[in-house]
C-alpha cells in the first residue's frame, strides 16, 4: 500500500479518536478540569520529541554523526528566513488547536467533526489562490455538496431553547475561524514542504519548536494564575495524556499526508472519521440525534468524499483504447 493511503487511514483514525477523547476529558472532569492551554503546549513538545527520534532513525539511519550533520545543515546553518516563514503556519496551527478545545466544549463530537469539514472549502480556495491548483468541475461540485451536508447536519442538531442556540452560534463561529486558519496554514505549509528538499521530520521539529514557544505564551497569558495555584499538570489523567498523544500524532500524520498527497485530499479523508465518531459518541455520550436530516447530511458528506476522488475518463477518439 502506498505511503499516502497509509497516512490517510491513520488520519481518519486519529481524527475520530481525538474528537471523542477530547470531548470526554472536557465533559467528564467537571470538578477539577485541566487547562487546555497546557495540553496544547505538551502536544507541541511531544511532537518535537517524536520528530527528533524519527529524524535520527529514518533520516540518519541511527548514525549520530549523520544526525548531527542533518541538524546543523537544516536547523542551525539554514537561512533564518525559513524560521520566519514557518512561524506563520505554526502560529495558525496553535490558534487552531485552541479553537478545537473551545469548539468541542460547545458542540457534540459528531457535529464538530462534520462542521469542521468546512475547512475543505477554505483549503480548496487557498489552494487555487496560493498554489494555482487546478480543481475540476466534479471536485468543485463535491465541495459544494459538502457545504450542503454540513449545513444540514448542523440544522438537525439545533435545540429550541435559547441557551442551545447561543452555544451553537458560538460553536459555529469558533469552527469557522478554525477552518480559515486550518485552510491557510495547511496550504502555506504544503507550499513550503514541496518547495524545499528537507525531511518532513526536520520540518516538524521546526514547527514544534515554534509551536511550543507560542503555546507557552498562551499558557502564561491565559492560565498563569491557575497554573501557579494548582500546578501545571492539575486535572491530568490517562485520558488527557491520550488526548495530548493523539494531538501530537495528528500533526505528524498531517505532514506526511501533505508531503505525499495534498491538503484537499487530507480534508476529505478526515470526513470519513464521521462514521467512527458518530457511532461511538452515540453510545458513550448519548448526544447525537440520528434524525432524517442528520443521516441525509452525513450521507451527502460521504458522497462528496467519493465525488472528489472521482475522475471520469474521457473516451478516446473513435472509441478505441489508446495505449501509453
| Spatial contact of 12 and 270, defined as CB atoms under 8 Å apart | yes
Averaged over 173-200, what is the pLDDT? 84
What range does the domain containing 198 cover?
Answer: 3-309
**Who wins on pLDDT, 57 or 83?**
57
Question: Would you say residue 319 lies in a domain?
Answer: no
**Who wins on pLDDT, 298 or 315?**
298
pLDDT of residue 204 exceeding 90, the answer is: no
pLDDT of residue 70 exceeding 80, the answer is: yes
pLDDT of residue 53 exceeding 50, the answer is: yes
Give the CA angle between residues 285, 289, 291 to the nearest 5°.
155
| Spatial contact of 69 and 202, defined as CB atoms under 8 Å apart | no
Quote the pLDDT of residue 320: 44
Quote the pLDDT of residue 153: 73
Most confident of 67-71, 146-150, 167-171, 297-301: 67-71
Averaged over 81-91, what is the pLDDT? 84
**What is the band of 322 on the pLDDT scale with cuts at 50, 70, 90?**
very low
What are 268's three cell numbers?
Answer: 476529505
Q: What gap in Å lies between CA 47 and CA 203, rounded to an integer? A: 11
Q: What gap in Å lies between CA 106 and CA 148, rounded to an integer? A: 22
Q: What gap in Å lies between CA 260 and CA 242, rounded to an integer? A: 27
Question: Would you say residue 320 lies in a domain?
Answer: no
Question: Would you say residue 74 lies in a domain?
Answer: yes
What are 81's three cell numbers?
Answer: 528566513
Question: Would you say residue 23 lies in a domain?
Answer: yes
Averaged over 198-207, what is the pLDDT? 87
What are 208's three cell numbers?
Answer: 514544534
Listed in sequence order, the residues at least 6 apart from 96 whose beta carbon sits closer than 8 Å to its beta carbon are: 178, 181, 182, 185
Question: Would you say residue 56 lies in a domain?
Answer: yes
**What is the band of 255 on the pLDDT scale with cuts at 50, 70, 90?**
confident
Question: Would you say residue 152 lies in a domain?
Answer: yes
Question: Would you say residue 264 lies in a domain?
Answer: yes
pLDDT of residue 317 exceeding 60, the answer is: no
**What is the band of 324 on the pLDDT scale with cuts at 50, 70, 90?**
very low
* pTM for this entry: 0.71
Quote the pLDDT of residue 310: 60
Averaged over 249-273, what is the pLDDT? 71
CB atoms within 10 A of CB 22: 26
Quote the pLDDT of residue 323: 36
Mean pLDDT taken over the chain: 79
pLDDT of residue 39 exceeding 50, the answer is: yes
Q: What gap in Å lies between CA 13 and CA 293, rounded to an integer? A: 25
For 55-59, 85-89, 162-166, 261-265, which range has the lowest pLDDT when averaged over its residues?
162-166
* Structural domains of the chain, count: 1
Question: Would you say residue 324 lies in a domain?
Answer: no
Averaged over 221-244, what is the pLDDT? 91
pLDDT of residue 34 exceeding 80, the answer is: yes
pLDDT of residue 300 exceeding 50, the answer is: yes
**What is the band of 178 on the pLDDT scale with cuts at 50, 70, 90?**
confident
Amino acid at each position: 500500500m502506498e505511503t499516502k493511503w497509509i497516512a490517510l487511514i491513520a488520519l481518519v483514525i486519529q481524527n475520530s479518536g481525538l474528537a471523542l477523547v477530547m470531548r470526554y476529558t472536557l465533559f467528564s472532569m467537571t470538578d477539577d478540569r485541566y487547562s487546555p492551554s497546557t495540553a496544547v503546549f505538551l502536544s507541541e513538545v511531544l511532537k518535537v520529541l517524536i520528530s527528533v527520534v524519527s529524524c535520527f532513525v529514518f533520516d540518519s539511519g541511527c548514525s549520530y554523526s549523520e544526525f548531527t550533520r542533518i541538524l546543523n545543515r537544516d536547523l542551525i546553518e539554514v537561512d533564518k528566513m525559513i524560521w520566519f516563514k514557518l512561524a506563520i503556519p505554526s502560529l495558525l496551527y496553535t490558534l487552531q488547536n485552541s479553537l478545537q478545545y473551545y469548539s468541542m466544549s460547545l458542540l457534540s463530537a459528531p457535529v464538530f467533526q462534520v462542521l469542521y469539514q468546512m475547512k475543505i472549502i477554505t483549503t480548496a480556495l487557498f489552494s487555487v489562490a496560493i498554489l494555482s491548483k487546478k480543481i475540476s468541475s466534479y471536485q468543485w461540485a463535491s465541495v459544494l455538496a459538502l457545504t450542503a451536508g454540513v449545513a444540514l447536519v448542523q440544522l438537525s442538531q439545533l435545540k429550541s431553547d435559547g441557551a442551545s442556540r447561543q452555544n451553537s452560534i458560538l460553536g459555529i463561529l469558533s469552527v469557522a475561524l478554525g477552518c480559515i486558519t486550518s485552510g491557510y496554514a495547511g496550504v502555506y505549509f504544503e507550499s513550503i514542504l514541496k518547495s524545499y528538499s528537507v525531511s518532513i521530520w526536520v520540518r516538524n521539529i521546526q514547527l514544534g519548536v515554534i509551536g511550543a514557544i507560542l503555546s507557552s505564551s498562551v499558557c502564561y497569558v491565559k492560565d498563569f494564575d491557575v497554573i501557579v495555584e494548582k500546578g501545571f499538570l492539575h486535572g491530568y489523567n490517562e485520558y488527557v495524556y491520550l488526548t495530548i498523544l493523539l494531538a501530537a500524532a495528528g500533526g505528524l500524520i498531517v505532514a506526511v499526508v501533505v508531503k505525499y498527497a495534498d491538503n484537499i485530499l487530507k480534508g476529505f479523508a478526515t470526513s470519513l472519521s464521521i462514521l467512527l465518531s458518530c457511532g461511538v459518541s452515540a453510545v458513550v455520550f448519548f448526544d447525537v440525534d440520528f434524525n432524517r436530516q442528520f443521516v441525509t447530511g452525513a450521507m451527502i458528506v460521504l458522497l462528496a468524499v467519493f465525488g472528489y476522488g472521482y475522475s471520469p475518463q474521457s473516451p478516446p477518439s473513435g472509441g478505441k483504447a489508446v495505449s501509453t
